[in-house]
Amino acid sequence: MGLLDGKVALVTGAGRGQGRSHALRLAAEGADVIAVDIAANDVETITYPLAGEDDLDATVKDVERMGRRAVKAVADVRSLSELQRAADAGLSELGQIDIVCANAGIGSWAVSWEMTEQQWKDMIDINLTGVFNTVRATLPSMVERGEGGSVVLTSSTAGLRAYANTAHYTAAKHGVIGLMKVLAQEAGPHRIRVNAVCPTTVRTPLVINDSTFELFAPHLENPTEDDVREPFESLNILPGVAWIEPGDVSDAVVFLCSDAARFITGIALPIDAGNIVK
């Protein structure tokens, strides 16, 4: 018996990273999955490759190997109409949505007064408006069905504090927490709980990429992951933690979606090795 037997979860950014990890952990606990991803390198201000359709296919296949049903949906979270089609496809095949993980996101770096208009726009459109679009496309069916549910929004420790070179990212992640608090109030009477997870740095391509290495080790030629461990470790209280793994966040997501958290709503849960209190 899994913690989420009989549930259906929609996960954005499911092609890789945190989204893929969440999709597989939810499936391992018994949930069927609607796996949503842009599955294309379609964001001009991002310097690292995004997940491709092969990545999304791999997520779907792994969910199915666990004996769970999976619906693949290629959609850009910047488009409400595309997300609505993804949700409708999942509802048509699986009959319901009980869990929503609005996870899709991007990362980039720039000093505020050097940031381009497009950098700001891409970040807000994906990391904040994309979260709104995800819940806008899914909550109506959950409310109408009347069986409650759980919504988990992916924020960040940057939603609870500030970091230099991330004005756009920090603004978006603070916005996600504000959105979560309103949704918790509005959806609560329908027995739908809404929470946010706030990870410290997670070891995914969003952070582990050449742009990050060059920012944190500008004195080196072709810096690597090992060259930036120390500055990332300095952000956290627990020793030796430069970044956490996607599965560490997935554990929190599963908890928030399960009956073990049935009275928890409206919280921003840090998974941060002590980052926000340092």
Whether 133 shows a pLDDT value over 90: the answer reads yes
Same domain, 131 and 236: no
- What is the Cα–Cα distance from 147 to 209, expressed in whole angstroms? 42
Domain that holds residue 215: 209-242
**pLDDT for res 88:** 98
Whether 272 shows a pLDDT value over 90: the answer reads yes
Chain mean pLDDT for the chain: 96
Same domain, 145 and 227: no
pTM of the model: 0.96
**pLDDT for res 1:** 83
**pLDDT for res 102:** 98
- Tell me if 100 sits within 8 A of 133, measured CB to CB: no
**What value does the mean pLDDT take over residues 63-87?**
98
Whether 263 shows a pLDDT value over 90: the answer reads yes
Same domain, 133 and 221: no
Cα–Cα distances in angstroms (integers) from residue 188 to residues 79, 100, 111, 135, 150, in the given order? 26, 15, 39, 14, 10
Number of structural domains the chain divides into = 2
Same domain, 124 and 215: no
Same domain, 98 and 232: no
Domain of residue 145, CATH code: 3.40.50.720
| Residue 235 located in a structural domain | yes
Query: Is 48 one of the annotated active-site residues of the chain?
Result: no
**pLDDT for res 211:** 87
**What value does the mean pLDDT take over residues 24-47?**
96
Q: What is the pLDDT of residues 210-246, one digit of tens each?
A: 989 988 888 888 999 999 999 999 999 999 999 999 9
**pLDDT for res 10:** 99
Same domain, 87 and 147: yes
Catalytic residue among 132, 169, 232, 243: 169
pLDDT > 70 fraction of the chain, expressed in percent and rounded: 100
Same domain, 219 and 189: no
Q: What is the pLDDT of residues 142-196, one digit of tens each?
A: 999 999 999 999 999 999 999 999 999 999 999 999 999 999 999 999 999 999 9
By CB atoms closer than 10 A (0-12, 13-18, 19+), residue 178 is middle
Same domain, 236 and 141: no
- Tell me if 83 sits within 8 A of 104, measured CB to CB: no
Whether 76 shows a pLDDT value over 90: the answer reads yes
**What value does the mean pLDDT take over residues 86-96?**
98
Taken in order 9, 198, 172, 58, is the CA torsion positive or negative?
A: negative
Same domain, 227 and 96: no
